[in-house]
Amino acid sequence: MRFVNQVAKCVQVSFTVIHWHESSVSAEGSNSKRSLKIINALLGHYPFLLNALPSFKWDRIGQNIIGRNIQKKAALLCRFFSRGSYMIRILTQTSYIALVAMALSLAPMANAQWDPYPWKHVPRTADGQVDMKAPAQKTSYGKPDLSGFWIPESLVKNLLNLAADMKDADIPLTPQGRATLNQRIETKGVGHPGAYCLPSGIPEKDSIPDGLKMVQTEDLTLVLYESRTIYRQIFTDGRPLPKDPQPTWMGYSIGHWEKDAAGKESFVVETIGQNGKTWLDMRGLPGTESLKVTERFSRPSIGHMDIDVTIEDPQSYTKPWTSHLAWKLIPDTDLIESICEENNQDPKHMVGK
């Protein structure tokens, strides 16, 4: 069943509830409870939805979706979300971009283009499942193996706000940085590149919940992002960062390994040379061409990755600051194609001030 093909001509917001409902069906009888949990998670991150759609409650959407086939589900939500009055209510009460971006990123996960296939060379439990609690493995050259298919543990927490674990007053914004953030909040995020199918940069790319694949070799680690079907190269062959880089969306990254006093090894990645057009999160934390991002990746177990992200940008922040992210492994699956530009219906609906 090709989920994306069924809803390709719909307003992108329709993807969200359909995907989250479909992905919750794992066994007969578990449908309603898991759907409710997922919808509650959505409402937890987007409480405005309870009031944004006064004539159509989320529990009623769920009732209408359950029991119908995918074509009818798609048609139902497409009709609902494409009605101008309802769309305007959403657009005028909060940042539509944030909802669209999450819908775009979550849409393809329910039905992959590759059938599930067991990965080789990973520890498994007696029932054949990947042992997510097993210690991380080593590569042939003796470093922790970070490869796998990963998604954020908290699907949208740091996508919406990279500094979610900080008090707003503790974010060390410069006057210029604060003005940029406030402007983006006041205009409901209308200028976010993602609404126009432009790439996310680093670190926002680390928080997009459609997943990424890390491919690790001794001299190069590739990060293949499902979102925008874009890639990132992290060189570990000893080269330095470029002295005068031509600004790009993803920047230029080099990595090396460090070991702390307790013996924990981390993959330290430094990135510069981004073009200043990307945002650090959906809320609007800014980054300029002066941005330097340092990520420290550590994998304590097969199923978990910790990432400490340090932001340095003298134009936007008075001092470096750090955010903690976490990923979880999605085993026995693979990337699927994601072409944002195909039938992009969002720009004509964008509003701002």
Distance between CA atoms of residues 185 and 180, nearest Å = 9
Could you tell me if 17 and 351 are in contact, meaning their C-beta atoms sit under 8 angstroms apart? Answer: no
Given a cut of 50, is residue 1 above it in pLDDT? no
- Can you give the pLDDT at residue 346? 66
Q: Give the model confidence (pLDDT) of 261-301 as tens digits.
A: 998 999 999 999 999 999 999 999 999 999 999 999 999 99
Q: Which residue has the higher pLDDT, 28 or 224?
A: 224
Q: Which residue has the higher pLDDT, 155 or 167?
A: 167
What SS3 state is found at 2? Answer: coil
Helix, strand, coil % over all residues of the chain, rounded to 5: 30, 20, 45
Given a cut of 70, is residue 104 above it in pLDDT? no
- Can you give the pLDDT at residue 10? 37
Q: Which residue has the higher pLDDT, 268 or 81?
A: 268
Given a cut of 80, is residue 241 above it in pLDDT? yes
Per-residue pLDDT averaged across 212-222, rounded? 97
Could you tell me if 116 and 26 are in contact, meaning their C-beta atoms sit under 8 angstroms apart? Answer: no
Given a cut of 70, is residue 140 above it in pLDDT? yes
Q: Give the model confidence (pLDDT) of 19-58 as tens digits.
A: 434 344 343 344 444 444 444 454 454 444 444 333 333 3
Q: Give the model confidence (pLDDT) of 182-200 as tens digits.
A: 999 999 888 899 888 899 9
- Can you give the pLDDT at residue 14? 39
- For residue 198, give both structure tokens: 């432009």
Mean pLDDT, the chain, whole residue set? 76
